[in-house]
Structure 1
């Protein structure tokens, strides 16, 4: 059995769902699109900043020969019913269970440890080198995975596999060991543009790239005020977005529960929205700290919870929302709370107009003042309609 065959066999034992071997030649095919993304201002800012290092593996790894790409399938449905006790938010499926970065690193490190045991002698073992990466590394995971034969890059920019659709986490190992490489998978979307049409913010360009700043997944991860055009479109999702995956024909009926660490807990991935507004740092870590969606801290999630409460029309949350607008030390939370009051306070417009006016008199932050003023305008229109 060749070393490659042994690695494939071991990967199955480790619970790796797909594995492929790609050449470490430069990714010349990415150069134009990566530079165009940057020039047009379509980058999110979360990706690796040095374009050359994303194209040329030799820029960050001496004598790269092969990139071993792996995929782990994640669940799309929760096994327990979601309670209807009160209004809840939702984390996108890619953030269910334990943070996928930790899960992938575990599998990659175990695979590397196995490969090292297969060296013929000490000299060979010392010569072999490995660099594991998840999506925080230099390389473009989907480009590596496509070259390694795991799947093709769809119009939404995600890797689509035959077995698991696009519901997979990706990681890779750059190594100086030379392996026989696998065949890349050709583009398989045909004329289908369902993901492009379904994207609520028109973020997808249809050629596998996107304006990342228009993506709702990006917007839910920012720390400042969310531009108003995205707030309603976010619905009740407090982290991420998987609309382009849910409409994809390749994903129809796909739901895999291979990894216990990925199983979602209902109160974590469908959290009650009102308690999120007042949670302490300790409560945040206990409830959400294990999720990939917690990486930006609690402020974006609390901001998103305020937006979600307005979107689902939960007027019972107005007292908690007003507390945020009046007492929170963070301008983003005060401003978003004021916006939510403008959306929810129309049944008692005169009451909330008075309270917002009092808040406006004390507010010093320009972005919060603007939100309060807009909320006042909105409620004033409602009050005039009622008066007539």
Structure 2
């Protein structure tokens, strides 16, 4: 079998099926990454969403018998909305990060990878292949860096010369000895704009992130968000793009290659108050097709409450009072209590005083007291 020719055919086919960049690398262990992951674990900087077994994250042979190569793919997504919607008084909006604007990228990339896999098997029927997107064991970014897709930026994203960092990544581990591509030299240089732009200081230094402080991670948690970090979230209800929008390489980058990745502005930048009253079915009907829905309704509702507090939206007081009085979740009740304190109008404070008398949950009580204290500090 002429594997060099197969590689050329695969590259050509990838363009036909909507893959914007493809690269090939060896299936050798990711030794340098292993050391970094161990250090991250020691420092408590991991998010907890990762594969817990570091050996699997860096050793392709633990995932596929006798792997010979890894194919990395990148699909570019839009950085700007063609149709824009703006927040108005009484109609405040939240924002999903760009990576969650269109159809859930897991589905999009799995479709592309499946077509690549089928193409390979049509040429090499006995080939062994394992596809992965995001939730797989390997680090998509480490694979993409070694396969020449882009360099690993100081913001911990893969940055491509063509599309900046506005790309989704996936890979196929294969038993085929494809010739590997050359990695791209780091081009960040002395630039530290992403580090300086990080709202919470989560970027410790170039290439090192404390996920526990990253807004993208925080918006996906299900717990109460620490006080100091709530103030930094703004109106983000899923994810964060600050380190990407600050990157000079991303300036002017905006690609609309794939219809399924085009954002619906009413989903990408939704009205906040209606989110608080959504049923599970309504949430699924509106947000179920985007990646930002994967943790369910309640984290998005909590983030919407924080966003309303950020805007100090007085028109949201009735909705926030209803959450405080009727919601079951202590996280939502407590966050609503804090938000009412941030807004600080008479109706909000009266609701807090009343709730203080009947609320039995200790965590919610603490947030009620905190809300009342916030107003006294003004």
Answer whether TM exceeds 0.5 for this pair. yes
**Alignment correspondent of 2:182:** 183
| Equivalences for residues 149-188 of structure 1 within 5 A | 149-188=148-187
Alignment match of 1:60 (pick from 34, 41, 63): 63
- Matching of residue 355 in structure 1 with residue 354 in structure 2: no
- Matching of residue 115 in structure 1 with residue 124 in structure 2: no
Cα distance in 2 for partners of 1:48, 1:157 equals 18
| Equivalences for residues 36-115 of structure 1 within 5 A | 36-85=39-88, 86-115=91-120
**Alignment correspondent of 1:385:** none
**Alignment correspondent of 1:3:** 6
**Alignment correspondent of 1:220:** 219
**Alignment correspondent of 2:204:** 205
Q: Report the CA distance between 1:136 and its aligned residue.
A: 0.4
What are structure 1's unaligned runs of at least 5 residues? Answer: 120-124, 383-388
Kindly indicate whether the alpha-carbon contact (under 8 Å) linking 1:212 and 1:218 is maintained by their aligned counterparts in 2.
Answer: yes
Cα distance in 1 for partners of 2:64, 2:256 equals 35
Q: Report the CA distance between 1:209 and its aligned residue.
A: 2.0
Cα distance in 1 for partners of 2:331, 2:313 equals 20
Cα distance in 2 for partners of 1:79, 1:141 equals 29
Report the more deviating stretch, 321-330 or 356-365: 356-365
Cα distance in 1 for partners of 2:309, 2:339 equals 5
Number of corresponding residues: 373
Cα distance in 1 for partners of 2:360, 2:197 equals 40
**Alignment correspondent of 1:258:** 257
Kindly indicate whether the alpha-carbon contact (under 8 Å) linking 1:353 and 1:380 is maintained by their aligned counterparts in 2.
Answer: no
Cα distance in 1 for partners of 2:203, 2:84 equals 32
CA RMSD of aligned residues (A): 1.1
Kindly indicate whether the alpha-carbon contact (under 8 Å) linking 2:330 and 2:361 is maintained by their aligned counterparts in 1.
Answer: yes
**Alignment correspondent of 2:245:** 246
Alignment match of 2:360 (pick from 344, 358, 364): 364
**Alignment correspondent of 1:288:** 287
SS of alignment partner, residue 270 of structure 2: coil
SS of alignment partner, residue 2 of structure 1: helix
**Alignment correspondent of 2:372:** 376
Kindly indicate whether the alpha-carbon contact (under 8 Å) linking 1:335 and 1:367 is maintained by their aligned counterparts in 2.
Answer: yes
Question: Under a length normalisation based on structure 1, what TM-score does the superposition of the two structures give?
Answer: 0.94
**Alignment correspondent of 1:236:** 235
Report the more deviating stretch, 181-190 or 79-88: 79-88
Q: Report the CA distance between 1:101 and its aligned residue.
A: 0.4
Cα distance in 1 for partners of 2:330, 2:160 equals 43
SS of alignment partner, residue 204 of structure 2: coil
What are structure 2's unaligned runs of at least 5 residues? Answer: none
Q: Report the CA distance between 1:355 and its aligned residue.
A: 2.2
SS of alignment partner, residue 136 of structure 2: coil
